Structure 1
Amino acid sequence: MKADPLNDHRTELPLRPVRTTALVAVAALALAAVAWVVRAVWHIRLAVAGMPASGPMDQGGGRHRLPTALEDGYHIVDALGSAVMLLCAAAFLFWLGRVRDNARALSGERLRYSGIWVYAGWIVPIMNLWVPRGIIVDVHRASAPGERLPGVVNWWWGLWLAGMAGGVGLIYPYDEDDVIVRAYTDVWQLLLVDAAVIGAAVAGVLVVRALTAAQRARADEALRHDDAPVATP
């Protein structure tokens, strides 16, 4: 409840529950980390097996050889991993949109980024280098005013950018057959990117937990002072 100086009565600001959405986001991020571990294992298996004597699948001149069983398996692993990443993205964005709305309600001020940037911030070139982190910073600043930004936020964002820079399809499409060739010829580059993505997922879990806890603590404090937005279904 918050006093309305214009009409001399108390009004309600919407505060949406975040515990369940946070749990779903954490579970999805953990699942994404597992999926990327499986992907990394497959990269190692391809590297150990080595490129077939017949060469890469793309033989040039429009000719393609049949994939090996291991290459076929990678296509399946990659498809499942992509589905998990989509699920993870949906869960994380739903959580992020909710805590952003709550941050605005708790602070009573307009945030730097409008709601559309919760989604567009990840796909608009150049802007996707800082906007998502900026939204997280806004949420923390409004939810825990005066407190230092958790260091894990910077770890999460740095690892995410490293994974995105690796060009393995985190945001933009890529050619699976090219990745298979890279596994045969330069697997260490792929494994570094895999490690960055796995680290970003783990750090993302900690980010979700930290911001959710900060927001719930701020809401509880506001309730104790009888100045809290009321949760809506």
Structure 2
Amino acid sequence: MLRPVAGLGAVSAVLIAITATLGVVSAWSTWNIYFLLERFFDDDLTVGAADLLAAKDTLFAVAWSRGGALVVTAVVFVVWLRRARLNSETICEVAHRRSRGWVVGSWVCPVVNLWFPYQVVSDVWKASNPDTPRRLETLQAERMAPLRFVSGSRHLGLWWGCWVAAFVIQQVAAVVTYEDKPTMEMTLVATIADTLTMFLLAVSGVLIILAVRQITRWQSPPRGVS
């Protein structure tokens, strides 16, 4: 019997949506601070230090909320993914590119977390797809002959592309804009980078929600595998 994934899939989708929404709110808060700073340095008498502190507190509150939501989302999603991985091994007797340990480890190990998670999710997708033959030699390399019968997902490729792009932008922006006394120009660059990062993460969130729902549909209700 296949393990139930519908409940975890639904909760994962809701949490991903909440986290993505908080990211959008975070981007808005960042722009709010930037515009307040711009007015403050232009000697706008309607903006004082108290306004800047209030905006900063709002940004910190949103950041902490998003951080907490991200942790909870990650835990629930990984639990769902592990259960879906076990089901996919029952549905389709294939060798996945990564062992079960990488379902969790792929997300936390430096360097390999840039592509291992995609491979794990992609193989679960392929093995869960009803159009995939039950018995293949391997799912290890797309150049291998058996995999010409396996249909992947462009949505998953775009999902991971957005995720990695957001990570790279965030890291580059942190290095480029780091200064003890940042200028307004550097603040603007950081704000734009943060907005782009949150936008990419939001798109990534929508795409992985679609993937979670599709894999869940394939694996629910339990079906025979004989």
Output the TM-score relative to the length of structure 1.
Answer: 0.72
Does structure 1 residue 149 correspond to structure 2 residue 152?
Answer: yes
> 3-state DSSP class of the match of 2:158?
helix
Paired position in structure 1 for 2:3: 16
Out of 102, 120, 123, the residue aligned to residue 87 of structure 2 is 102
* Runs of 4+, deviation exceeding 2 Å: 108-112, 181-185, 214-217
Residue 81 of structure 1 aligns with which residue? Answer: 66
Match of 2:26 among 39, 42, 67: 39
Q: Is the Cα–Cα contact under 8 Å of residues 122 and 153 in structure 2 kept in the other structure?
A: no
Mapped contact 2:170–2:194 kept (Cα < 8 A): no
Structure 1 residues 183 and 21: CA distance shift in structure 2, 3 A: farther
Q: Where in structure 2 are there 5+ consecutive unaligned residues?
A: 42-51, 133-148, 172-177
Task: Quote the residue 2:138 is aligned against.
Answer: none
Q: Work out the CA distance in 1 between the residues paired with 2:181 and 2:79.
A: 33
Name the CA distance, whole Å, in 2 between partners of 1:101 and 1:26: 20
Following TM superposition, by how much is the alpha carbon of 1:93 offset from its aligned partner in structure 2, in angstroms? Answer: 0.7
What TM-score results when the alignment is normalised by the length of structure 2? Answer: 0.74
Q: Structure 1: state its 5+ residue gaps.
A: 1-13, 54-66, 169-174, 228-233
CA contact (8 A) 1:18 1:95 kept: yes
Q: Where does residue 161 of structure 2 map in the other structure?
A: 158
Q: For each residue in 1:167-196, what CA deviation from the matched residue of structure 2 results, as whole angstroms up to 9, or x when unmatched?
A: 37xxxxxx9x999x8883322222111101
Structure with the bigger RCO (C-alpha within 8 Å, sep 6+) is 1
- Alignment partner for residue 210 of structure 1, among 205, 208, 214? 214
Matched residues in 1 for 2:3 and 2:185: separation? Answer: 46
Query: 2:159–2:203: 8 Å Cα contact kept in structure 1?
Result: yes
Q: Measure, in 1, the Cα distance between the counterparts of 2:105 and 2:202.
A: 23
State the match for 1:116 in structure 2. 101
Letter in 2 for 1:33: A
Q: 1:190 — aligned with what?
A: 194
Distance 1:77 1:210, change over 3 A: same
Please tell me the root mean square deviation across aligned C-alpha atoms, in Å: 2.7
Give the AA of the match of 2:89.
Answer: R
Instruction: Give the Cα–Cα distance (whole angstroms) in 2 for the partners of residues 88 and 178 of structure 1.
Output: 35
SS of equivalent to 1:108: coil
Alignment CA distance shift 1:76-1:130 (3 Å): same
What is the aligned length? 189
Shift of 1:120: 1.1
Distance 2:24 2:85 in 1: 30
| Bigger shift: residues 185-194 or 152-161 | 185-194
Of all paired residues, the percent bearing the same amino acid is 25
